[in-house]
Structure 1
Amino acid sequence: MLSSLLVRDFVIVDQAEIHFSDGFTVFSGETGAGKSILIDALSLALGARGDTASVREGCERADISAVFTVPESMKSWLDEHHLESDGTLILRRVLDTQGRSRAYVNGVPATLTQLRELGEQLVDIHGQHAHQSLMRPGSQRDMLDAQGGHTPLAQQVRASWQSWQQAEQALRQAQQDQHALLAQRQRLEDQLEELGKLGLKPGEWETLTQNQTRLAHAQAILEGSARALSLLDGEETGIQRQLRLAAQTLQNLVRHDSRLQSICDAIESAHISVTEAASDLQSHLHDIELDPDSLARIEQRMSTVFETARKYRVEPEELLPLLEQRQAEHAASLAGTDLAALQAQVEQARSEYDKLAEQLGKARRKTAQRLAEQVSKAMQGLAMEGGSFEVALEACPPSSHGNENIEFLVAGHAGTRPRPLGKVASGGELARLSLALSVIASQAARVPTLIFDEVDTGVGGAVAEVVGRLLRELGNRHQVLCVTHLPQVASCGMHHYKVEKARSKNTTLSSITLLNQEARVEEVARMLGGIKLTEATRTHARELLQTQA
C-alpha cells in the first residue's frame, strides 16, 4: 500500500509530507484548496505525463516521491528488472522548468514506462470526471473488459485485426500493382541476365588490375631488373664481388685486431643477402615475358567490366554486390506477384482473428451478465430503487474491438424499459452509476491502493451516506483514498486530512493537516453549514461521525 507521499514545489504546494494508513482515508477542503493536486502529484510519480506548469512559480523543479510497501505479486517484476527492495518501494519523479523529467525506482534511474508498469500494479485512480466517460462506447467496452479480466484477450484481438488488415492491404496493393510488378520483374530479369553473362568472379577486378599493370610495364621491368642484376653481380664492379673482397681483407686483419671480427661478420651477412637477392632477381628475369596478346585480352576484359559498371553507375568492384541486390529484389518481386500466397495469408489471418474474436465475445457475454446483476443490486441502495442495469452486446461487422458493439442500458425506475445510459440518466444518476461501477470493479482489482477523486459529485443526502459506507466497506479490503466535498462521505473516513490554501509572502500555498477528532467535528460542520458555524451544525457533525464510527 501507499505509505507516504513527499511533494516539493508542485503547483501551489511548497512542501508536504503525508503518511498514510490502511483503511479508508478522506481529503476535504475548500474548492481550489488543492485537494486534487495531491492526486496529480501521485499520478506524476506513477509515470503520468507532466509539464512545466506543474512546477511551482519561482522554483526550478518539482520533486515528488511516493513510498509503497511491496506486495508479494511485485517481487518477480523487481527481480526481472534487477531492482533491489527491502520491502519498501520508492518511486520518485523530478520535473524542471525546462521540461526535463527524471524518474527513479529505489534511487536507481528508471524510465516512465517502468513507473507506469509499477503504478498499474500499485494504484487504481478513479477520476472526478469518470461518470462523463460512461457516455462513450469505448469507455464502456474498456470497463467491461477490465471487469472481466479479459483485457489481454482484447489486445490479442486488436493485434490479430491489424495483421488481418495488413494482409488484406498487401493483397489489394499486389492486385493493383500487378502490371507494374511484372514490368519491374522483367527489368530485373534483363539486368540479372546481363550481369550473369558478365561472369565476374570475386576478386577478379583486383587481379585484372594487377596483371594489366605488370604486362603494360613488362619492358621497363625487364630492363630495370637486368640493370639491377648487373650492379649486384657484375664481374668487376658488382656489389657481390666488392663485399667478398672487403670481407677477405678484414679477415686477414682480425688476428691483429679482434674488434674487426664483428664488422667482418656483418659484411659476410650482407654478402649472403646480396647473393640471395641476385639469385632471386635472376629467376625473376627468366619469368618476365613480353606478351602483348595477354595484355590485349586483359584490357578487353577490363573494358567490358568497366562499361558495365558505368552503365549501372557503380564502381567495377561494386558489380558483384549489385548482382546480389538485384537477385534479392527479383525474389521479392516474385513473392509480391504471388497472389495465391497473399490470398492464403489473408485467409489465415482472418481465421486467427475469428477464433480470438469468438473467444472474446463469449467472455464478454459472461461478464456482462454478472456485471448487470452486481450494478442492479448496487443501484437499490443509491436512490434508484427498482432500477436495473444491463450490458447490451449487439453483433456488428468485425473490427479491432471484436464482433460486437457494447452499450450500457439503464432503467432508473421499476417498470421502465432499459435504454442507453446517455439518453435517460441524469447527471446525479450517472455519478451514482459510475461510483457503483468503480466500487464493483475495484472489488475485483488486485491493486492494493484505490483512489477516488470526487467521484461523489452529483449526489447528496441519504445517497451520499450510502456512498460513504460503500467506500468505507471497500476500505476493509483495500487502502482507499477519497477526495470529497460531501460531509456524509467525509464522516465515514477512518482517517481525515484537511487541505487548506493560504497567502504567504505574496504567494498562495496549500497545506495538508491530519485532523484529530475535535478538528474533524469542525471540518464536517464546515462542510455541512458553510463558513459561519453554529452549535447546531457542530452537533450534526458529531452525530454523523458517531454514526459512522
Structure 2
Amino acid sequence: MLRHLDIRDMLIIDRLELAFQPGLNVLTGETGAGKSILLDALGFVLGWRGRADLVRAGAAQGEVVAEFQITEGHPARAVLEEAGLPVSDELILRRVNTPEGRKTAWVNDRRASGEVLRQLSDVLVELHGQQDDKGLLDPKNHRAMLDEFGGLRALKAEVAEAWSARSKASRALAEADARLAEMKSEEDYLRHAVAELDKLDPQPGEEGELDQRRRLMQAAEKMREDVARAGAALGLEGAEGMLSDARRWLEGVTDRAEGGLDAALAALERATVELSEAQSAVETFADQLVFNPAELEEAEERLFALRGLSRKHGVMADDLSGLADDLRTRLGQLDGGAEEISSLAKTLQEAEATFAAAAARLTEARVEAAGRLDAAMARELGPLKMERAVFTTEVVPADPGPTGTDAVTFTVATNPGAPAGPLNRIASGGELSRFLLALKVCLTHDDSGLTMIFDEIDRGVGGATADAVGRRLAALAEGGQVLVVTHSPQVAALGAHHWRVAKDVEGGVTTSRVVPLAPEDRIDEVARMLAGDTITDAAREAARALLSGA
C-alpha cells in the first residue's frame, strides 16, 4: 500500500507531500491543475518510461520519494531479496533526475537500477490510465490478457518450447533438403573428381620430392663423371693411399721421435675417419645417379599430373590429398542423404505432434478461462448498470505459432438480441468506460496486494451510472487501496479520502499544490464539480446529499 509520496521540483511542483490511506482515495481538480503530474511523478519513482523533461525549470534536480507498506508474503519482498536489498515492512523508493536527464535511484537507502524499480512497480502498483485503454481495446493484446487471467504461463511456456523444437526440426530438414539438392546437382563432378584423385592418390610433400628427383636425374649424366673422378681421387690411388703411406712412414719412426709425432698421427687418424665418411657419401650419391632412363619420364609425368590437378581444383599440390578427403566426405553425405532426410522428417513429425498436443491443451485451458472471464464480467457489469449487456471472449482457430493455435477477441453486445462486436465499435463512450472498468477489475489478481490507480475511468458517464462506477471502485478498495483521478462528483463523493489539486500563479511562476480536504471542504469541492466556478447553495445541498449517500 502506498503511504506517502514526496515530490520536489518536478514540472510545476516545487514541494508536495501526500499521505495516502487505505480504501478509496480520490483526487479532483480543474483540468490542467496538475493531476496527471502526480501520476508522472509516481511513475518516475517506480521506474516507468515516460517524459524526460520532468525537472522544474531552474531547479538543480527533481526528486520523488514513495513509501510503501508491504505485508508478510508480499511479492515485493522476493524482488528485494533477489536484488540483495534490505527487506522490511517499510519500502522506501527514492529517485532523482537532473535537467540533463541523469537519473539515480535508491531502494531502502541502497543504490538500485531502473530495472529493479520496474520489477517492484509490477508488484506494487496497477495503473489504469487513458493510454492503457488502447491496449485493452486492441485485439492483438486480448490473448495475452486471457492467458494472464487464466494463469496459463506454464502452458504457454510449454507451447513456446514445443514450437521452438518444431521450428528447429523444420529448419534442419529444410537445410538438409537444400544440401542434398545442391550435392545432387554436382554429383557427376564429385564422382569424377574423387575417382580422378583416388587414381592419382596424391601424397603431401610428393610434388617437392618429385621435382627434386627429376632435376637430379636431368643433371645426372654430367654429375656422374665428376662424382666418379672425385671417388677415384679419394680412393687408394689418391688421398686414401697417400694418407695410408704417410701413417705407415710416421709410425715407423715414432718410437724414436720421443712423442713429437703423436699430434701428427692423431690428426692423420681423424683425417682418415673424415675421408672414409666422404667416400661413403660420394658412393651413396653415385648410386643415386644410377637409374633407368624410364624413371625420368615417369617422374615427369606424375609431377605434371599433380600440377595439372592442382591448377584444375585451385589448390596447392600438397593440398590435393585433403581435397580428396573433403570430396569423399561430401560424396558420402550425398549417398547417405536420403537416410538423413528420413530421420529428420521423423524428428519433425514427432515435434509437430508434441506441439499439436501442447497447443490443444492450451486451447482447452483458454476456452475454460474464457468461460470464467465471461462469468466474472457478467458479475461486474450488473453493479455498473449494464446487467443486460453480454461480454464474450471468443477463442477461434488461428495460424500456429509460438503462442499456440488460437486467436482471442473480446466482444460485447450492449442489448439482448443486438449483434456482438468489438468493444470500441459497439459500446458508446459511457458504456466503454464501464466495460473497461469491469475488465480491468477482472484482469487484476485478487491477492496481489497492488495499489490500483484509475485515471479518469469514469469519463463519459454521469448521474446514476457514475454513482454505480464510484460504488464499484469503493467496493474494490475494501481491504485494499485504490487511487482515482476523477472529474465525476458522484465518484468523488464515494471516496474515503479526498484531495483537491489546484494550480497557483504567483510572481509569474505557476505551481501545483494538493490539499487534503476536511468534510466541510469536500462539500465545496463536490459542489464545484456539480455547478462549476460559481458554487450555489443548491449545489452545496446536492453535494451534501451525495456525500451523505456515500
Length-normalised TM-score, structure 2 = 0.69
Query: Relative to structure 1, is the Cα distance of residues 434 and 181 closer, same or farther in structure 2, using a 3 angstrom cutoff?
Result: farther
- Report the Cα distance in structure 1 between the residues aligned to 2:315 and 2:114, rounded to whole angstroms: 49
* Counterpart among 511, 524, 529 of residue 513 in structure 2: 511
Paired AA for residue 58 in structure 1: G
Report the Cα offset of residue 35 of structure 1: 0.9
| Residue 450 (structure 1) shift | 1.0
Q: 1:48 and 2:58 equivalent?
A: no
Question: How many residue pairs end up in the alignment?
Answer: 443
In the alignment, is the contact (CA less than 8 A) between 1:468 and 1:492 conserved in 2? Answer: yes
State how far apart, in whole Å, the 1-side matches of 2:343 and 2:114 are.
42
Question: Which of 136, 147, 150 is equivalent to 1:145?
Answer: 147
Provide the alpha-carbon RMSD of the alignment.
4.2
Residues 533 and 402 of structure 1: CA distance in aligned 2, closer, same or farther (over 3 Å): same
* Deviation for aligned residue 1:59: 3.1
Residue range with higher mean Cα deviation, 471-480 or 55-64: 55-64
Aligned to 2:483: 481
2:129 equivalent to 1:123:
no
Give matches, 1:285-434, under 5 Å. 338-434=340-436
1:106 alignment counterpart: 108
CA 1:175–1:516 in 2, change beyond 3 Å: closer, same or farther?
A: same
CA distance 1:18–1:197, shift in 2 (3 Å):
farther
> Secondary structure of the residue that 1:353 maps to in structure 2?
helix
Q: Distance in 2 between matches of 1:64 and 1:184?
A: 70
- The runs of 5 or more residues in structure 2 that have no matched partner are 206-276, 283-309
Identity of paired residues, percent? 37
Cα-to-partner distance string for 1:268-299 (whole Å, 9 max, x where unaligned)? xxxxxxxxxxxxxxxxxxxxx99999xxxxxx
Alpha-carbon shift at residue 357 of structure 1 (Å): 1.9
Q: C-alpha displacement at 1:114, in angstroms?
A: 1.8
Look up the match of 2:19.
19
SS of 1:53's equivalent in the other structure is: coil
Counterpart of 1:303 in structure 2 is none
SS at match of 2:74: helix
Give the Å deviation of 1:530.
0.6
Secondary structure of 2:145's partner?
A: helix
SS at match of 2:121: helix
Amino acid at match of 2:55: V
One-letter code aligned to 1:534: T
1:266 maps to what in 2?
none
Q: What is the aligned partner in structure 1 of residue 265 from structure 2?
A: none
Alignment CA distance shift 1:124-1:312 (3 Å): farther
Letter in 2 for 1:78: L
In 2 relative to 1, CA 151–463 (structure 1 residues): closer, same or farther, beyond 3 Å? farther
Structure 1 347/511 Cα, relative in aligned 2: closer, same or farther at 3 Å? Answer: farther
CA distance in 1, matches of 2:353, 2:12: 56
Alignment correspondent of 1:458: 460
Change in Cα spacing, 1:107 to 1:170, as seen in structure 2 (3 Å) is: farther
Change over 3 Å in CA distance of 1:19–1:155 after alignment to 2: farther
Q: What is the CA–CA distance in structure 1 between the aligned matches of 2:176 and 2:43, rounded to whole Å?
A: 48
Name the counterpart of 2:32. Answer: 32
Contact 1:465 1:489 in 2 (8 A): yes
- Structure 1 unaligned regions, length at least 5: 200-288, 294-307, 314-318
Q: CA deviation at 1:507?
A: 2.8
- CA separation in 2, counterparts of 1:312 and 1:46? 64
Q: Is the Cα–Cα contact under 8 Å of residues 50 and 95 in structure 1 kept in the other structure? A: no
Deviations 1:40-68 (A, max 9, x none): 22222222114432222333433222211
- Larger Rg belongs to: 2
Contact 2:378/2:387, CA 8 A, preserved across alignment: no
Note the alpha carbon deviations across 1:170-221, whole angstroms, 9 max, x for none. 433443344557899999x99xx9xx9769xxxxxxxxxxxxxxxxxxxxxx
Flag the 1:140–1:18 CA change in 2: closer, same or farther, 3 A.
same
Q: 1:529 to 1:355 in 2, by over 3 A?
A: same
Cα displacement (A) at 1:540: 0.8
Residue 61 to residue 167, structure 1, CA distance change in 2 (3 Å): farther
Aligned to 2:8: 8
Per-residue CA distance 1:11-47 (angstroms, 9 max, x = gap)? 2222222111111101111111111221222222222
Q: Quick check: 2:499–2:514 contact (8 Å CA) kept in 1?
A: yes
| Partner deviation per Cα, 1:434-470 (whole Å, 9 max, x = no partner) | 0111223336351331111111111111010011111
Q: Return the alpha-carbon distance in structure 2 between the equivalents of residues 547 and 63 of structure 1.
A: 40
For the Cα contact (< 8 Å) 2:79–2:119, is it kept in 1? no
Distance 2:171 2:89 in 1: 51
| Distance (Å, rounded) in 2 between the aligned partners of 1:461 and 1:529 | 14
Aligned-partner Cα distance in 2 for 1:451–1:197:
80
Partner Cα distance (1:445, 1:123) in 2: 13
Are the equivalent residues in 2 in contact too, given 1:16–1:511 (CA < 8 A)? yes
Could you give the per-residue CA deviations for residues 500-541 of structure 1, whole angstroms, max 9, x where no partner exists? Answer: 112234332211111111111111111111111111111111
SS at match of 2:53: helix
Q: For structure 1, which segment, 160-169 or 529-538, has the greater mean C-alpha deviation from structure 2 after superposition?
A: 160-169
| Alpha-carbon distance in structure 2 between the residues aligned to 1:152 and 1:112 | 27
